[in-house]
Structure 1
Amino acid sequence: MSVVQSSQKVEQQQFFNVIQDRRSVRYYHSEAKIPREEMNEILQQATLSPSGANLQPWRFLVIDSQELKQKLFPIANQQQQVIEASAVIAVLGDLEGYTLAEKIYGMTVDAGYMPEETAKSFVERYQGMFASMPTETVLRKVLIDCGLVSMQLMLVAHAKGYDTVPMGGFDQGKLTEAFNIPERYAPVMLIAIGKGAKPGHPTVRLPIEDVAFFNEMPKA
Structure 2
Amino acid sequence: MSTAQAQPDFTTILRERHSVRHFDPSFRLGEAEIAELAELAGSAPSSWNLQHWKFLVFSDASAKEKLLPIANGQRQVVEASVTIAVLGDLEANRNAEAAYRPVIQAGAEDAYAGYSSHAALFAQIEEAYARDGGTYRRDEAIRNASLAAMQLMLAAQAKGLASGPMVGFDAEAFVRAFHVPPRYVPVLLVAIGKAARPARPTSRFPAERTIVWNGFEPDSSMT
Using structure 2 for the length normalisation, give the TM-score: 0.88
Spell out the pairing of 1:41-120 with structure 2 (5 A cutoff): 41-110=36-105, 114-115=109-110, 118-120=117-119
Aligned to 1:5: none
Q: Which runs of 5+ in 2 are unaligned?
A: 1-5
Distance apart, 1:109 and its partner CA: 3.2
Alpha-carbon separation, structure 2, partners of 1:216 and 1:127:
33
Aligned to 1:178: 177
8 A Cα contact 1:101 1:127, kept in partner: no
8 A Cα contact 1:105 1:123, kept in partner: no
Spell out the pairing of 1:184-195 with structure 2 (5 A cutoff): 184-195=183-194
Give the alignment partner of residue 36 of structure 1, picking from 23, 26, 31: 31
After superposition, the C-alpha distances for 1:91-125 in whole angstroms (9 at most, x for unaligned) are 10110111110111112334675458722321232
8 A Cα contact 1:106 1:119, kept in partner: no
Distance apart, 1:154 and its partner CA: 0.2
8 A Cα contact 2:128 2:136, kept in partner: no
SS at match of 1:134: helix
SS at match of 1:192: strand
Q: Which runs of 5+ in 1 are unaligned?
A: 1-9
Relative to structure 1, is the Cα distance of residues 61 and 215 closer, same or farther in structure 2, using a 3 angstrom cutoff? same
Alpha-carbon separation, structure 1, partners of 2:108 and 2:201:
43
Relative to structure 1, is the Cα distance of residues 58 and 114 closer, same or farther in structure 2, using a 3 angstrom cutoff? farther
Aligned to 2:150: 151
Report the number of matched residues. Answer: 210
Distance apart, 1:180 and its partner CA: 0.4
Aligned to 1:27: 22
Aligned to 2:125: 126
After superposition, the C-alpha distances for 1:159-198 in whole angstroms (9 at most, x for unaligned) are 0111110000000010000000011110000001111111
Q: CA RMSD in A?
A: 2.0
Tell me whether 185-194 or 99-108 shows the greater mean CA deviation: 99-108
The structure where helix makes up a greater share of residues is: 1
Relative to structure 1, is the Cα distance of residues 29 and 114 closer, same or farther in structure 2, using a 3 angstrom cutoff? farther
SS at match of 2:148: helix
Distance apart, 1:217 and its partner CA: 1.6
Q: Which runs of 4+ in 1 moved over 6 A?
A: none
Alpha-carbon separation, structure 2, partners of 1:159 and 1:109:
34
Relative to structure 1, is the Cα distance of residues 79 and 52 closer, same or farther in structure 2, using a 3 angstrom cutoff? same
Alpha-carbon separation, structure 2, partners of 1:67 and 1:107:
39
Using structure 1 for the length normalisation, give the TM-score: 0.89
